[in-house]
Amino acid sequence: MKVVDIIQCDPEVPIGVFGELLAEWRLPFRIVRLYVGDALPVGADAVIVLGGTMGVHDEALHPLLRPLKEFLARRLIAGTPLLGVCLGGQLLASLAGGVVSSNCRREQGLVEVSLSVSGLSDPLFSDIGQRFQAFQWHNDSFTIPSVALHLASSIACPGQAFRAGNAWGLQFHPEVDRDLVAAWSGKTATHTTLTAEFATVETTHRAMARQLLANFLTIANQHT
């Protein structure tokens, strides 16, 4: 089994359910905590890039973004299996030629995501279903790069998922659990509503995350 490098840009946006699943499956992984100065790997078998409160264009405020972009650009060229979540997806979209806009198509809470025809046949979304509920927590959004396949959309935010080569970018957060939802929504007026709504779908949301991560790991292990 190949080692998965998980890039964490922000202490408030941890690995969540993904970490629990990898531990349950006894699969090797490393968490690279850029916010405390961890070095990016020289090479990588497979990479998951998590979200963050910063934006793609905030290099002046968050210097960690520049080396991360350079690392991901090299991995894109190398064809390394990549999975970007929220900020991670936006970074991949930008590097692949898409446009990331600030304060655009904001979503918070549970949103129905629909797979496109391309998404239905894509291995990342195998056995997930054409429509599913996914937790969203973003102010920024990306357009689908011209070189990419458009895999999923929501009503408010068409750019929910794409594939460019061996890179998959997501806008939604499959990795969240009840604790993360409570932490992120804690300072909002909708805290009680958001946590209560998520509690009603937590089991199915976790099942979606399990299938999506399992699919990505299958893709990574098939990559030569």
Instruction: Determine how β-strand 167-170 pairs with β-strand 161-164.
Output: antiparallel
Position 64: which residue type? L
Instruction: Determine how β-strand 161-164 pairs with β-strand 100-101.
Output: unpaired
User: Is position 157 annotated as part of the catalytic site?
Assistant: no
Under 8 Å between Cβ of 83 and 49:
yes
Q: Which entry of 62, 138, 150, 173 is annotated as an active-site residue?
A: 173
Q: Which entry of 9, 107, 157, 175 is annotated as an active-site residue?
A: 175
User: Is position 173 annotated as part of the catalytic site?
Assistant: yes
User: Is position 107 annotated as part of the catalytic site?
Assistant: no
Q: Which entry of 9, 62, 86, 107 is annotated as an active-site residue?
A: 86
Tokens standing for 26? 């006894």
Backbone angles phi, psi at 38, to 5 degrees: -60, 140
Under 8 Å between Cβ of 125 and 119:
yes
Enzyme catalytic residues: 86, 173, 175
